Amino acid sequence: MNPQDSSEITVQTLLALRQESDALRVITEKLRVKEMGPADHIRTKHEVKTFLETGDVKAAETLIKQAHQRTAAHQAITNRMTEQQQRGQQMGL
């Protein structure tokens, strides 16, 4: 996981990546969709496809914002579950 991949992604970056032959894959990697929950992963991929079709700057801004929110939300849930598991293991000892 490279933190620079999505922390520095900008609208200009998305617009430039849109020209790539495998733009969907490259953009979804930059947005770290694999670090999201399954539904958010799919939703984000659909939003990237829409952005690739339209090239809309506003859509790119929204896409970046929502991707960051979804990744952060999934990370928070994962952290909470890990903490609960650790507490449960400690109580069981």
Q: What is the pLDDT of residues 3-42, one digit of tens each?
A: 444 457 899 999 999 999 999 999 999 999 998 989 999 9
Q: Provide the whole-model pTM.
A: 0.77
Instruction: Determine contact, residues 32/1, Cβ cutoff 8 Å.
Output: yes
Query: For residue 84, is it within any domain?
Result: yes
3-state secondary structure of 20: coil
Question: Is 80 contained in some domain?
Answer: yes
Q: Angle formed by the axes of helices 38-54 and 23-30, to 10°? A: 130
Segments of the chain assigned E as strands: none
Expressed as residue numbers, the domain containing 75 is 8-92
For 69-93, what is each residue's pLDDT tens digit?
Answer: 999 999 999 999 998 888 887 776 6
Predicted local distance difference test score (pLDDT) of residue 87? 81
Quote the number of domains for the chain: 1
Rounded average pLDDT over 46-75: 94
pLDDT of res. 88: 80
Asked if residue 33 is part of any domain, the answer here is: yes
